Structures are given as structure tokens and as C-alpha cells.
Structure 1
Amino acid sequence: MGTLCKEAPFNLPEDLDVSIQESSMVFPSKQTERKTMFLSNIDQVLNFDVETLHFFASHKDFPPHIVADKLKNALADALVHYDFLAGRLKVNSETGRLEVDCNAAGAGFVVASSNCNLEEIGDLVYPNPAFAQLVHKNKDFLKPGDHPLCVFQLTSFKCGGFAIGLSTSHTTFDGFSVKTFLENLAALAAEKPLVMTPCHDRQLLAARSPPRVSFAHHELLQLDKLPPEFDSGVFQASSEKLDFKIFQLTSEDLKALKEKAKPTQGHHSGARITGFNVITAHVWRCKALSGQDDDPDRSSTMLYAVDIRSRLNPPLPKSYAGNAVLTAYATAKCKELEEGPLSKLVEMVTEGAMRMTDEYARSAVDWGELYNGFPNGEVLVSSWWRLGFADVEYPWGKPRYSCPVVYHRKDIILLFPPLNDSEGGGDGVNVLVALPPKEMVKFQSLFYRFFHEG
């Protein structure tokens, strides 16, 4: 087995010695229409910021100060096509719903420098808490009470390499639409036309009138009142001490897992044996059984995101720029997870995604119209594996690595591509797990045990 469990590097820097040189607002390069943008029920519950980092090696033709100028100009042009990014969230006093005031108030832009070389900041794959210094918070950006929906930070390193940190409100984008936004930004920085014209019509995901909830939606938890800003369920940061470990699966490891997931001879299975499905089934089992509760009859619910663009009738445009992902789920008793074959667990994961038909998706959106709540489960598998952020070609090249800034969240398991995957690094995957120390010991033991046993 080629799997390597990566511990925290011994010399992980705790301070990247970052100094802010300049903070400013970037406004649309052309006048945009003042309007209010409707947010779907999917957008509504994602009112938190997502922070991503994109690391670049030094480029002789594009020193960091040139990149900063080009990026700033490209952002100004992008805000013409993505006018909502220059707006501000507000609560409609009549409906109580969040919406975006497209008021051209601007996006944030920060120029910073670090006294470190890129090679000195450690393994880019490992979630160093110090990486948080490479993004700038959206809250109270230049003045109290002003919360831009998008803030860029370009941090230069002593070696000439640099990092672009991006903080966006999740109400604005999902992972797929962020990728399109970055591709369009890169094209504008190269003075080329947009790769894809974004679709901003979020009424395409509006609830039906009257709402019609036609499924039970066990993956959603109702609340008495949902405040305008909240940190919900599995998205909540943990205050307890957590160990971080990365389980590195090579393409050969994935092939081995897929082989184990094939049903035994004579047994029919509806499982789709994909890399995502087998990894999700594998880590679900390990997470469910790693807790201190040994009750075999306890049920475990695992959540994962499904892109619904192609599942609706008619399909959403691929260029849809809002959130078009819903939470699929699989539920099983711990006894089933421990004793059942991997093929059965993969079948459950498959069924969760297959459940996401047009009617199911519409029902989930309508559920959000009637109730206050959010996705609810024991563990969320969040995949950044195939988003392709590191494949975006900027004038200064592709990122050396792209990743989210990771915080203490023990109920989210993240899937990342390997370092330099876009440069032929293979089809492997990094599985990032954060758990209390005792649970981590058990998780790691189960991870290897079930890998070998199937």
C-alpha cells in the first residue's frame, strides 16, 4: 500500500511574518446598474466566508508588484461582469431574506509581503494555521461595519514567489462557479475575452409557488429561527484540541479500493465505483467507528455535496454563478458500517447521489422556503479534488498549489488533489482529517485495517 499518513511537519512555521503594505477598494471599471439581486434558498444558508490560497513560484517576467497591478485591473474589469461581487449583503425588512445590494461599493484588495521564502513556509499540502495570514478577513475591511463580499490579498515572498489569498462570501459562489470566476479573471489579466459569460439569474433556483415538499429530507435540520448570520452544524469550528493528519492515496491505492468495492460474484449492485464514491464510503466508515460510543445500533449520517446543474429539468446553464449544490446523504447503523462489505457502502453513497433528481432538488429548495434550517449529519465529506483551481492558467503561470484555508472543524473531511497534480502528479488524492487525539488514533487504525480487509 502506497498510502502515507502525513503528520505535522517538525519545522512548521507558526508566523509567516506578513506585513500589510496597502489596503484599498477596487471598483467596477465601468458603471454598473444599481439593483438588488435575489439569493436562492441554497445561497441563504451559506452565509459564511470561504478562504482559498493559490501559491505561485517566482516568474522573471511577472514580479509580484506587476502581478498585483495586473490582478487589480483584472478584478476591476471582472466586477463589471460580476457586479454582485462589488455589492453588499442586506436583509430585506419585508421578507426577512438575505439579498445582495449591487451598489458598486467595491471589492477589497490587499498588497502584503512576507519575510519568508516560499520554500521556507513548509509543505503547502499540510494545513498550517499560519496560512491564515495570507488571506484578509472580509469583516470591517476598511471601516467598521463594511463587509465586502470579496477580498483579494497578494503576498510576496523574499524569493519572488507569491500567494494570492481570496476570501469570498459563500452566498456568492460554489466551488464550480469560483473556478469559472478564476478562469475569467485570468483571461482578463491576459487581456483576453471571458472564458464563459456568467449567468446571474438566481431565480432559476427560486422555490415553487406554492412550495411543494415531496420528500422527507432527513439530511436537513429544522430550527425555530435562523439568524441572518450563523455558523451551522458541521460548519462549526471546534474549540477542543484536534490532531490534523493527511492520508495520501496514490492512483494505485485508488485502484485497489475500487477493486475491493466490486460486488462479490453473483451479487448485483447499483454502486458506481468512482474514486470519490469509494473514498467517501471508506472515510465514512472510519469516522463513524472512531468515536467513543461503541453502540452498534447507533445510526451515522454522512453528507456530501452534489452539483445539481445537470440534474434539473431543464438543466441550469454551466455558467450559473450562484450556489447550485445540494447535500446528499447516506445513513447506516454502525454495525452495518463495520461488518458490511465496501461494495454495500459504496452502493449507499451512490444511492444518495442518485436520489438527487429534479423533483428531489426542487423539494429541497421548497423545504428551505418553509423552514429554517441547514444540512445536518455526523460528518461532511467536502471535495476540492476535482475543482481544478490549480489548472487555471494566469499570465504568470498555473498555481503551484491551490487549497482552502483550513480551520478546526472535526466533522468535515476534506479531499484535496496532490501537489503539482496539474503538472502530471498523477490521479491520487489527499484526505485531510481533523479529530481529537484519541479518535484520531482509532481513525488511523481503522483507515489501514479496512483498506487491507475491504
Structure 2
Amino acid sequence: MSPSLSTTPSSAATIITTNASQLPANKSSLVQVITKCTVLPDRKSTAADLKLSVSDLPMLSCYYIQKGLFFSPPRIPIPRLFSLLTRSLSRALSFFPGLAGRLTTNPDDGRIFISCNDVGVEFVHAAAPSLSLPLLLPPAQDVPIEVQSLFALNGAVSYDGHFRPIAAFQFTELGDGALFIGCTANHAVVDGTSFWNFFNAWAELCRSPDTITISRSPDLRRNFFGNSTAVIRFPGKAGPEVTFSVGAPLRERIFSFTSAAIRELKLRANRQVNYSAELYGKQIHDKKLIAEGEEISSFQSLCAQMWRSVTRARKHLRPDAPTTFRMAVNCRHRISPPIDKFYFGNAIQSLPTTANVGEVAEKELCWAAELLHRNVAAHWDDKIRRGVAEWEAAPRCFPLGNPDGAGITMGSSPRFPMYEGNDFGWGSPVAVRSGMANKFDGKFSAFPGRYGGGSVDVEVCLAPDTMAALIEDEEFMHYVSKGYDAEAVNAN
């Protein structure tokens, strides 16, 4: 079958369709590609070129973001559902023209920008008849490697956006009728806030086909240090190399924390309780409260506990060695004047907090939590601008990874609307998962809990021996819920 092309954008999804027999055999044998197509925006873009910012450029060496959603079986025939997804995607791309473009480097000055040229995104329809929700979402077990096959563009580095789609989507039917919708997006083009804003917009247009606009339009003004003249140059036009070792042995698991467990951690972090020596090894005698307005947050409390527990689980570390906990900080509201909360692009900085292994492992939770809290609380306009100036003086890609084996990098956020707003017309998602991209020993991602109320799920990637030791940590596991309830999901 020859590819068919509709060359004029219209109210219908504009697609280039390819027969499955023409596709490369790069999927797991468990996942069969049925159709692959290119979806174009339903309106011609009028957006100007979008220059990569000081927060976009460092991401060129990172893999694309890969996040997706599991859904219970829909009561919609698959052919109709496929049409709904592609048509609404076409409409959504008109509001987010950067996703349907390509990266371009100006040969004269080396500036890299997004050309909103309407070349479209990749959309894959696949089937996995031997996979099901219970198999892919097992309770209290490692994440099955088969989840990685539910995403398109595996192995794409953000610099590849010069010649590969900036975004790609895979819609997979599972054997039990459940669905997975995976999104792969260039990390030099979007951060988590932009990623989930787009996902929400796509879902909104899918469940409300007559909607003319979207409720949360992206801000395309590129005003996050848009006046910077800094560029990154790559000799030989080969692009950057990934900064961490790919293929090292890893175990990946989702740890779920109920809202009650997180409240308990927050109380400990703010020194408001006294725990028994039998359970925790020592008492917290200092019950003083953090000053008003200085309260350690729930998420900082959870991060501190994970830092302590994982550091203890890394048996090979010397007590006097440094350990660093990095978290991505959304700078949209932290600079003066602030930028729009729906600013399209990266507006983040990586915030490291460093201490000695022995102190993190042995001191109380409140000590580590306060370190994290003080660092985040100080990260406002002056510090952000200082970080930008330092980067402009020596432009470089972000060194993602864990070279000394003692670090943790926390990505994503429990505040992202992963469940809220992602009903495509047949019900809310039942689980969030990510692909193989940007995973290494010490890479964590935080998701909102499935049932809301302040619950949090943390995707944890660790070396096998460290994961085994972490699961044996009684203090840590005290806070972890029993895990994913497959029966509840299937009954949803």
C-alpha cells in the first residue's frame, strides 16, 4: 500500500498513513503495530520561530519525555476511538504548533529554534493481545519491562528533533480490552508543566468534539530569559552525547504513599511528634515547631525520607562521601516579574542539595528535610538569575546521571494533572507509567496518587542490590502502601 497524503489542513485530522508491513521491526514481539501515521495540525500555523531558551538548551542531550496513561476498557468501538484520537490530536496541535514542527539551527549564529512548519507528529496504533492491566500493573512488584514497548520513539535524544518528530504518540489495545495512550515529547521543547498541559488539552478536545477552544491555552511568548544570546555549539554537527551510562542493570518500582502516611512524614519533618525508639532506633526529643511560614512541605518531607532510606540502602558508600538530592524546580512563579503558568517550554532549574552520606543516613528526618526545605525556600529571582548567568558564561548540556553512585534526581511532580483533566471521553486514567527514557540508578519521578487526597506515587530506579536493601528498610516500608490494587482498577 502506498502512503496516502492529504496536503491541506482541514477540520478533520490530516494524516499520512503507512501500512504496518512497511514499518521497522523495532517493537517487542508482544506489541504489534497496526497503523502508523503522521498527524498534522488542522490549521496552518501562524506562530513565529520559537527560540530555545536557557532552560531548553541544556535538555538537548536528554532523551525525550515518555509518559502515558492506562485506561479501563472503553465502551467505544476501536475504529471510532482511533478517529476521535487523531482528529482531536490534529486540533490540539493547532494550539501547540511547536509540537508539530522541527528543531532548526541557524548556520550563522548557532541559535537553535523550533520551526512551527506543520510537518506533524507521529501516531502509532498498536495491539498487545497477550498483555493486560493485571500483568502490566502488578501489586508491590517491579514495573514489567513490557511497559517500555508501549511508547514511540524509544531512544530519541532531544537534539534529534532536527530530523525526527518533536512528539509521537502510541495508542495500544491490550488483550483484556484496556488501553494505553503513551506520549513521547522532546525535552528541549517541553518540561513537565507544558507536557501535561498539552495532554489535558488533547483529552479536552477528544471528550468534547464541539469545543472551539481549550480552557488552558499555552503562552508562546518565549519570555523566560528570551533575550539571552547564549548558544551551545556541537562540533561536527553530530549533536550531544547522552551524559549517563545506558544499559546498566536497573530495577524499577512504583512506591505508593497514602495521604495519611505523608501527613505522618510531614509531622516528623516539622518535629511535631515523638516516635518510639523500638521502631526508629532513636527518639526525636526536639519538638519545636518550624516558624510560621517556614513549614516543611509534604513533598519535601517525603523526599527527605527517600534520600535517607536510599542512602542507607547504598551499602558501598563511605560515611564521609557526599550525596546529592536534585529536584526540578518550576521557575514560572519564582522570577520577577513571573511568567504565565502555562508558558510553553522549559522554565525549570535543577536544585541540588548536598550533605555527607553519614549525616543523611544517621540523622533524623527533620534534619534532611530542613536541608531540602531551606534550599527550595531560597530559590527565587536572585538565585534563578544567578544560575542563568553562570550557565550563560559556560553554556552546556545538563549532566543527567549519577556518576558517583550517591545521587538522587527527582523529576516530575505530584502536582501535575495526570489523572485530573485526562478523561478522553470514556473515563479517567487508572494508572500513570513512563517509558525507558532518562532512567538510571537514582532517577525518581513523582506522580499524584490514583485516588487523590494528597497521596503520591514515586517511580524509583535503582541498582538491583540497592533496591533489594531499600525494600528491607522497615522505616521506609512503614510508609509505603501495599501497592497497586488490580481488582479495584479492573472494577473501575
- TM > 0.5: yes
Give the counterpart of 1:414 among 445, 456, 467.
Answer: 445
Matched with 2:83 is: 69
**SS of corresponding position for 2:189:** coil
Distance 1:421 1:230, change over 3 A: farther
Alignment of 1:185-196 (within 5 A): 185-189=202-206, 190-191=208-209, 192=211, 193-196=213-216
Distance 1:340 1:154, change over 3 A: same
RMSD across aligned positions (CA): 3.2
Distance 1:124 1:356, change over 3 A: farther
**SS of corresponding position for 2:224:** helix
Instruction: Determine if the alignment matches structure 1 residue 177 to structure 2 residue 177.
Output: no
C-alpha contact (below 8 Å) 1:118/1:162 kept by paired residues: no
Matched with 1:131 is: 147
Q: What runs of 5+ residues in structure 1 fail to find an aligned partner?
A: 1-13, 212-221
Matched with 2:220 is: 200
C-alpha contact (below 8 Å) 1:54/1:401 kept by paired residues: yes
Distance 1:294 1:231, change over 3 A: closer
**SS of corresponding position for 2:323:** strand
Instruction: Determine if the alignment matches structure 1 residue 168 to structure 2 residue 185.
Output: yes
- For 1:25 and 1:16, locate their aligned partners in 2 and report how far apart those are by CA, in whole Å: 23
**SS of corresponding position for 2:49:** strand
Instruction: Determine if the alignment matches structure 1 residue 254 to structure 2 residue 281.
Output: no
Instruction: Determine if the alignment matches structure 1 residue 96 to structure 2 residue 126.
Output: no
Instruction: Determine if the alignment matches structure 1 residue 230 to structure 2 residue 241.
Output: yes
Matched with 1:432 is: 459
Tell me how far 1:254 sits from its aligned partner: 1.6
Matched with 1:379 is: 408
Distance 1:366 1:145, change over 3 A: closer
Distance 1:367 1:161, change over 3 A: same
Tell me how far 1:368 sits from its aligned partner: 2.5
Q: Deviations over 1:287-340 (max 9, x none)?
A: 333334443222212100111111111111112111112111211112321332
- For 2:319 and 2:239, locate their aligned partners in 1 and report how far apart those are by CA, in whole Å: 38
Distance 1:260 1:26, change over 3 A: same
C-alpha contact (below 8 Å) 2:335/2:381 kept by paired residues: yes
* Larger mean Cα displacement after TM superposition, 272-281 or 251-260: 251-260
Alignment of 1:354-373 (within 5 A): 354-373=377-396
Instruction: Determine if the alignment matches structure 1 residue 399 to structure 2 residue 433.
Output: no
- For 1:273 and 1:223, locate their aligned partners in 2 and report how far apart those are by CA, in whole Å: 41
Distance 1:348 1:26, change over 3 A: same
- For 2:74 and 2:477, locate their aligned partners in 1 and report how far apart those are by CA, in whole Å: 45
Q: What runs of 5+ residues in structure 2 fail to find an aligned partner?
A: 1-26, 272-285, 480-492
Matched with 2:330 is: 307
Tell me how far 1:399 sits from its aligned partner: 1.4
Tell me how far 1:231 sits from its aligned partner: 1.9
Q: Deviations over 1:402-430 (max 9, x none)?
A: 22224651121223334x425xxx53333
Paired residue type of 2:153: K
Tell me how far 1:397 sits from its aligned partner: 2.1
Q: Deviations over 1:189-235 (max 9, x none)?
A: 21222011211122433355799xxxxxxxxxx99989733323xxx
Distance 1:124 1:154, change over 3 A: farther
Instruction: Determine if the alignment matches structure 1 residue 52 to structure 2 residue 67.
Output: yes
Matched with 2:469 is: 442
Distance 1:15 1:427, change over 3 A: farther
Instruction: Determine if the alignment matches structure 1 residue 30 to structure 2 residue 43.
Output: yes
- For 1:278 and 1:34, locate their aligned partners in 2 and report how far apart those are by CA, in whole Å: 42
Matched with 1:265 is: 287
**SS of corresponding position for 1:255:** helix
Matched with 1:9 is: none
**SS of corresponding position for 1:205:** coil
C-alpha contact (below 8 Å) 1:207/1:362 kept by paired residues: no
Distance 1:447 1:358, change over 3 A: farther
Distance 1:19 1:229, change over 3 A: same
Tell me how far 1:31 sits from its aligned partner: 1.6
- For 2:253 and 2:38, locate their aligned partners in 1 and report how far apart those are by CA, in whole Å: 38
Tell me how far 1:365 sits from its aligned partner: 2.3
- For 1:447 and 1:99, locate their aligned partners in 2 and report how far apart those are by CA, in whole Å: 50
- For 2:382 and 2:311, locate their aligned partners in 1 and report how far apart those are by CA, in whole Å: 30
Tell me how far 1:257 sits from its aligned partner: 1.5
Matched with 2:8 is: none
Paired residue type of 2:304: A
Paired residue type of 1:21: I
Identity %, equivalent residues: 24
Tell me how far 1:149 sits from its aligned partner: 0.4
